[in-house]
């Protein structure tokens, strides 16, 4: 009698499989739980516009703490944003104001961030309290005869390049290149090149991340 073939699964692989199953179940449960918020968002968007509706819904979901909050926010954002990858993490207190925002693979957004029209590319890290409005001209202020609130403005997409790291409390008004590091408390007012470290108000290049000589640091 022929024996049936047997495949032995290493313990580590078994644990990994269970983790994937549990995470998939948690994502499905989060989608079910957040469904009323999604419905309310779309109904509200017809009355007050998608931007304001998104801001309201994400403010509500931002108050849910812990891992459960991460799952609920991700489930909602996958329905509401232009793109939100299943591996993206959005922490407590963070909200969005523009539905055109995109979150790519392995993006991490720390607590209490405020985000407008942004594209966070793969592996971007935002520390706590980072503000990225929709560019640096959301309010015009050149006409002295009118209040600023009546002068209009413009929104532009701000892109944070793959693998960039934005420090605590930074304000980003322009694109940040791939692999760049923005120091805590900096204000970025002009595009940041790839793989540099910037700091200050306004942010200036301190050095190249991979400089091997003082000359490269000065001219990187």
pLDDT of residue 8: 52
Q: Is the pLDDT of residue 19 over 70?
A: yes
Residue-range domain boundaries for the chain: 10-80, 83-220
Mean pLDDT confidence for 115-123: 98
Residue 107 — very low, low, confident or very high, per pLDDT cuts 50/70/90? very high
Q: Is the pLDDT of residue 129 over 90?
A: yes
The superfamily (CATH) of domain 83-220 is Hexapeptide repeat proteins (2.160.10.10)
pLDDT of residue 20: 75
**21/54 Cα distance (integer angstroms):** 30
Out of 8, 131, 137, 208, which one is annotated catalytic? Answer: 137
Mean pLDDT confidence for 83-100: 96
**133/174 Cα distance (integer angstroms):** 9
For residues 167 and 186, is the Cβ–Cβ distance under 8 A?
yes
- Residue-wise pLDDT for 24-47, tens only, equals 788 889 999 999 999 999 999 999
For residues 54 and 41, is the Cβ–Cβ distance under 8 A?
yes
For residues 87 and 106, is the Cβ–Cβ distance under 8 A?
yes
Least confident among 84-93, 128-137, 176-185: 128-137
Kind of pairing, strands 204-208 and 196-199? antiparallel
pLDDT of residue 160: 98
Maximum alpha-carbon separation in the chain: 96
> 3-class secondary structure for the chain?
CCCCCCCCCCHHHHHHHHHHHHHHHHHHHHHHHHHHHHHHHHHHHHHHCHHHHHHHHHHHHCCCCHHHHHHHHHHHHHHHCCEECCCCEECCCCEECCCCCEECCCCEECCCCEECCEEECCCCEECCCCEECCCCCCCCCCCCCCCHHHCCCCCCCEEECCCCEECCCCEECCCECCCCEECCCCEECCCECCCEEEECCCCEEEEECCCCCHHHHHHC
Q: What percent of the chain has pLDDT over 90?
A: 72
**91/5 Cα distance (integer angstroms):** 47
Residue 137 among the catalytic residues: yes
pLDDT of residue 213: 59
**205/125 Cα distance (integer angstroms):** 19
Mean of per-residue pLDDT scores for the chain: 89
- Residue-wise pLDDT for 60-73, tens only, equals 999 999 999 999 99
- Residue-wise pLDDT for 186-213, tens only, equals 999 999 999 999 999 999 999 999 877 5
**Which residues contact residue 151 at a Cβ distance below 8 angstroms, ignoring those fewer than 6 apart?**
139, 140, 141, 142, 143
The pTM score is 0.85
């Amino acid at each position: 009698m022929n024996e049936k073939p047997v495949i032995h699964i290493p313990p580590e692989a078994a644990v990994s499989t269970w983790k994937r199953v549990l995470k998939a179940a948690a994502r499905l449960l989060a989608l079910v739980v957040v469904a009323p918020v999604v419905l309310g968002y779309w109904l509200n968007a017809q009355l007050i516009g998608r931007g304001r509706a998104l801001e309201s819904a994400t403010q509500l979901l931002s108050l849910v703490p812990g891992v459960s909050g991460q799952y609920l926010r991700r489930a909602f954002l996958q329905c509401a944003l232009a793109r939100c990858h299943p591996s993206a993490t959005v922490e407590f207190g963070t909200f969005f104001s523009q539905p055109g925002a995109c979150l790519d693979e392995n993006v991490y957004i720390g607590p209490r961030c405020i985000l407008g029209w942004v594209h966070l590319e793969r592996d971007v890290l935002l520390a706590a309290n980072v503000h990225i409005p929709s560019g640096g001209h959301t309010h015009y202020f050149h006409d002295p005869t009118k209040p600023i609130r009546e002068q209009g403005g413009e929104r532009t997409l701000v892109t944070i390049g793959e693998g960039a790291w934005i420090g605590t409390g930074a304000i980003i008004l322009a694109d940040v290149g791939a692999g760049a590091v923005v120091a805590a408390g900096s204000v970025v007012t002009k595009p940041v090149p790839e793989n540099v470290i910037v700091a200050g108000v306004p942010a200036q290049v301190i050095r190249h991340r991979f400089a091997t000589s003082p000359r490269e640091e000065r001219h990187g």
